[in-house]
Amino acid sequence: MSAMQLGLIGLGKMGANMRRRIADAGHEVVGYDPRPEVSDVASLQELVSTLSAPRVVWVMVPSGPPTRETVETLSTLLESGDLVIDGGNSRYTDDGPHAELLSAKQIGYVDCGVSGGVWGLENGYGLMAGGSPEDIEKAMPIFDALRPEGERADGFVHAGPVGAGHYAKMVHNGIEYGLMHAYGEGYELLSAEPLIDDVAGTLRAWTHGTVIRSWLLDLLVEALKDDPGLAEISDYTTDSGEGRWTVEEAIRHSVPANVISAALFARFASRQESGSPTLKAVSALRQQFGGHSVRPAGS
């Protein structure tokens, strides 16, 4: 694998770990972040001028206006033959306009859903990319550096044209909502039954050999080890948008997404009621895998 140079915009929880993993694979990463203490350069203009053409720039900033503004700025700084990758949790409907804006300057565009949370540095990231075959191939050394070790197809997919990567990640996150809520309900049911003396131990016994073993289950066991009974965490559970978008797509396609919809609505209910062990477990899982902030109990 030949070494590449990459510009990385956004050095938060995900971006900072991605920078380390890519650099550890032998690539040069020039990072930009508004916080000067973590940034390699002082501005987007300096980032672009530091990179050698043809440039590849990965955008890892919050979805919506921050991503849109970053892409618009890059469209004025980059040149023909350069490539922009949006690796944030943008809505897939934003990708077409981004690609169109950049293509007017002969700049390529790839959207890439990234899964792995704060554990991606160690374990690698699951990647779902959308774009032209030529643009995907241009960035493949970076994708290979980020994905887990082993067969490429086990951690990376070229899901389709522009928009497909973020669509795949949206559905991935919708499924995540349902899985987390099912584990939360199981935890609450075990906790409610006097026959069960060891709730955490029961969950741990499911982590190997059973048909419901998963990384999320491992993380729930870890959360209970850190905070038995989840006494230190409230059941207030936020959502970052992808679950809503998944439900909207289910409506558009007339797909009966009962579990994902129920999990999303349960999160809404958590902000109106209090004391749900199920939602405490969901909140704890979000903190475990993604480093998402949670509300302390009693707040």
Task: Identify any residues that bridge with 276 across adjacent strands, giving them in sequence order.
Answer: none
* Residue 167 phi, psi (nearest 5): -65, -45
- Among the listed residues 138, 176, 185, 242, the single catalytic one is 176
- Among the listed residues 138, 169, 242, 280, the single catalytic one is 169
Cα 143 to chain centroid, rounded: 15
The answer to whether the peptide bond before residue 141 is cis (omega within 30 degrees of 0) is: no
Q: Cα angle at 254 between 251 and 255, to 5 degrees?
A: 90
* Residue 288 phi, psi (nearest 5): -65, -50
DSSP character string of 16-31: HHHHHHHHHTT-EEEE
Cite the beta strand spans of the chain per DSSP E: 5-9, 28-32, 56-59, 83-86, 108-115, 126-130, 156-160
| Contact residues for 172 (Cβ-Cβ < 8 A; gap 6+) | 113, 115, 126, 128
Residue 176 designated active-site: yes
Residue 280 designated active-site: no
The rounded distance, in Å, linking the Cα atoms of 2 and 12 is 27
Give counts: helices (H), strands (E), the chain: 12, 7
Place of tokens 């075959």: 133
SS3 state of residue 91 = coil
Q: Just list the catalytic residues.
A: 169, 176
